[in-house]
Amino acid sequence: MIRAAVRTPYLRACLNQSRAPLTTKFIMSTRTIQTTAEIPKLSDPSLFRTGAFINDEWITSAEKSFTVTDPASGVEIGKLPDMNAQDTKKAIDAAAEAFKSWSQTTGKQRHDLLKKWYDLTMENQTDLGTILTQENGKPYPEAKGEIAYGASFFEWFAEEAVRTYGTVIPSHIPSQRFITIKQPVGVVGIITPWNFPNAMITRKVGAALAAGCTVVIKPGAETPYSALALCELAQRAGIPKGVINVVTTHENVAEVGKELCTNPTVKKISFTGSTPVGKLLMQQSSGTMKKISMELGGNAPFIVFDDADVDAAVEGALACKFRGSGQTCVCANRIYVQKGIYALFASRLAEKVAKFNVGNGFNADTTHGPLINDKAIIKVQRHLEDAVSKGGEVLTGGKHLGGNFFEPAVITGMTNDMAIATEETFGPIAGLFEFETEEEVLELANSTEFGLASYFYSRDIGRIWRMGEKLESGMVGANSPILSSCYTPFGGIKESGMGREGSLYGLDDYTNIKYINMGGL
Ligand SMILES: NC(=O)c1ccc[n+]([C@@H]2O[C@H](COP(=O)([O-])OP(=O)(O)OC[C@H]3O[C@@H](n4cnc5c(N)ncnc54)[C@H](O)[C@@H]3O)[C@@H](O)[C@H]2O)c1
Ligand SMILES: O=CCCC(=O)O
């Protein structure tokens, strides 16, 4: 148990002379957090697999192994083989062999298997949620929610598997006819992060398998057990040998990644993670001209106009900024609030954030879990200290509570020279910037190399259209803080990546269009 008192000494009466008087008060909080908890027993312990999964075999030994730890307690969860380029090559070969028959199955056959996988995932939702909370730390209800979200991609893409329609193109030459068909690209290399250990995999693998591709997955080293549990269920669903392979690694990640990107048998790389790693993988893949999908970092603006429903905007900011303790690529990073409601918004937001219960994700009253590791703690501390050193004021939170726990914070008086203005925090700090006009905030919102998600709150229909069209991001939430679903296209522009996951577009990333010209008629 860790106790932390947050004492903030004073409040400026106004943010500065020209601004509206600030009625916001600092929120004093004394938090007692529970870092340990009883972990529920798995009703099916065989879901906790202790080996990598290659060609339908569980591989428990390698030259080296790595340890996976519970980010809440620091307790070791288990060890897994730290695989290398040679192991990766074996997985690629297995996937290539399996592709020969899997690519020839009908859409209906793939539908049935994906649907079975979906059913098994939902039947085991609680156990999968337990594994996920243990390795990622997110609160148990949120983890079980992720399992349902992740499974929805199996269901959606099962239904899409039977709809990979081609086209008939009206001919301009009497003796010829033109058609297009969609074909699976081949073996896909999939690299995913730790923040959604289940859903970041399912939305790629669901689409890949539905299209007729086979896969080699490299999950986040912090959260590999969720990926392995999915493989156990895929095996039970009857998905054939070699169609899904998981290479586990930590220390050898660079060589495993390089093998996936340079091996000519792999025809596509689908990556979710940071922009610098995404750029490296693109460079490495260029030699074999692979098809690429990149779901990369963000720096989402969250804009609240004077004409917004302030309560809805506060609730939206709470959900959008603090989901997964701020460790979500689509989390609000820069919160812009118009001058007339700045103080009101700040005070209401801080009041709610002060009531969050930080702790071990398995405790029933925990609303926000730990960050993933000490690197994440160091980054949020750096962002907070940088903001404070440049004049930002912490209304609530901002303390390192020990271990990987950080007290969710609200900071006012944010300025554009602060790190949060340009860097993705990926943690629980809500920094509030004040603005005056729509033009000004639009320019600020778009002044980033990222373009994943943007959000705004307004009740002016003209403004809703204008902002929706002018914000430079792949996804925009207008009075809506959560964008993700299997039905809608997820993805970014600019340095947030390329490609779309989920939705009617999701399968396209895993198919090639072939044009066939039938002449001599
Ligand atoms: N756009 C999205 O859909 C989305 C979703 C989740 C996370 N993200 C982004 O991911 C980042 C946080 O995740 P992270 O810190 O795990 O990112 P990361 O880029 O460090 O790691 C992501 C994955 O890449 C692997 N990796 C790291 N170096 C590699 C290399 N040299 N070769 C091959 N693989 C390598 C990691 O082991 C992990 O599996 C944030 O920037 C976040 O915005 C984006
Ligand atoms: O972290 C990025 C993905 C989050 C989501 O799918 O909503």
Quote ipTM for the complex: 0.95
Q: Using the predicted structure, report yes or no on whether residue 24 has a pLDDT greater than 60.
A: no
- SS3 (DSSP) at 6: strand
Spell out the alpha helix ranges (H) of 103-139.
107-123, 125-136
**What tokens appear for 451 in the block?**
């373009």
The type of residue at 514 is K
CA distance 237 to 111: 12
**Centre of ligand 2 from the C-alpha of residue 425, in Å:** 15
Which atom of ligand 2 is nearest the CA belonging to 328?
1
Ligand nearest to the CA of 149: 2
Q: Is 152 in the pocket of ligand 1 (CB under 6 A)?
A: no
* Cα distances (Å, whole numbers) of residue 463 to 85, 342, 418, 466, 481: 52, 19, 28, 5, 17
CA distance 508 to 222: 30
Could you read off the pLDDT of 177-216 as tens digits, one per residue?
999 999 999 999 999 999 999 999 999 999 999 999 999 9
Could you read off the pLDDT of 37-79 as tens digits, one per residue?
999 999 999 999 999 999 999 999 888 999 999 999 999 999 9
Give the rounded percent of residues in the chain with a pLDDT score beyond 90: 93
Could you read off the pLDDT of 480-509 as tens digits, one per residue?
999 999 999 999 999 999 999 999 999 999
Q: Is 191 in the pocket of ligand 1 (CB under 6 A)?
A: yes
Q: Is 280 in the pocket of ligand 1 (CB under 6 A)?
A: yes
pLDDT mean over 358-364: 97
- Probe target for ligand 2 pocket from 132, 156, 194, 196, with the most ligand atoms within 8 Å of CB: 196
**Centre of ligand 2 from the C-alpha of residue 329, in Å:** 6
pLDDT band at 384, cuts 50/70/90? very high
Which atom of ligand 2 is nearest the CA belonging to 149?
6
Q: Is 296 in the pocket of ligand 2 (CB under 6 A)?
A: no
- SS3 (DSSP) at 508: helix
Q: Is 330 in the pocket of ligand 2 (CB under 6 A)?
A: yes
Separation of first and last alpha carbons in the chain: 80
Report which protein residue has its CA nearest ligand 2's atom 5.
484
pLDDT mean over 297-318: 98
- Probe target for ligand 1 pocket from 191, 226, 448, with the most ligand atoms within 8 Å of CB: 191
Burial class of residue 508 (count of CB atoms within 10 Å of its CB; 0-12, 13-18, 19+):
middle
Mention every residue, 6+ apart, whose C-beta is less than 8 A from residue 440: none
DSSP state of 495: G
The pLDDT value recorded for residue 30 is 62
Mention every residue, 6+ apart, whose C-beta is less than 8 A from residue 57: none
* Cα distances (Å, whole numbers) of residue 369 to 70, 234, 320, 382: 11, 29, 16, 20
The pLDDT value recorded for residue 20 is 36
Interior CA angle at 214 toward 273 and 198, to 5°?
Answer: 40
